[in-house]
Amino acid sequence: MQEEQKGTGHATNCARELLKDFTGDVFVLGGDGPLIRSFILQQMLEQQRSAQAAATLATASIADPTGYGRIIRNHEGRFEAIIEHSNATPDQQLITEIYPSYACFDCSLLFEMLNKLQPNETSGEYYVTDVPAMLRAEGKIVELVQGVPEEDVLSINTPQQLAEVESILNSRSLEEV
């Protein structure tokens, strides 16, 4: 339970006591995005384990990335950072590869980094999106899994978005019959 709203890093850290004896990989997923598909989670877990990564993030390329954290890659095309939309430079805001809030972490490394997490200078919130860059800065492996379908990125923040997500879920249910 997250009593105070201090950001996604704080929300994740609220699970520390529950997971204190757990070793292995753990998913950290946004609670407002119900369209994630199991095959993406499976790809992430397979990549996490095969690369012996500290973290594996899913990414999506979408036409309008407004409001989403951008994936920043280094000159080799590997993960460098996630930049929140509100903190992105004008050039970074042009990036269409986004982080849809699907991550797999080595549980012990996740909580180790959360101990070191600093609040964002602008919002004062703790962002779990800072953790992968922190891991990378410590020489840990951070992997990316591309290919989240654009419609899966939709989140629910308004009644209109709820109706859109319900429509997609209903269509998927009919396809499975």
CATH number of residue 35's parent domain:
3.90.550.10
In a domain, 82, yes or no: yes
Is residue 100 within 8 Å of residue 58, measured between CB atoms?
Answer: yes
Q: Which tens digit of pLDDT belongs to each residue from 60-111?
A: 999 988 888 999 999 999 999 999 888 899 999 999 999 999 999 999 999 9
Structural domain boundaries, residue 141? 8-176
In a domain, 2, yes or no: no
In a domain, 3, yes or no: no
Number of folded domains that form the chain: 1
Q: Which tens digit of pLDDT belongs to each residue from 2-13?
A: 788 888 999 999
Whether 46 shows a pLDDT value over 80: the answer reads yes
pTM here is 0.90
In a domain, 141, yes or no: yes
In a domain, 126, yes or no: yes
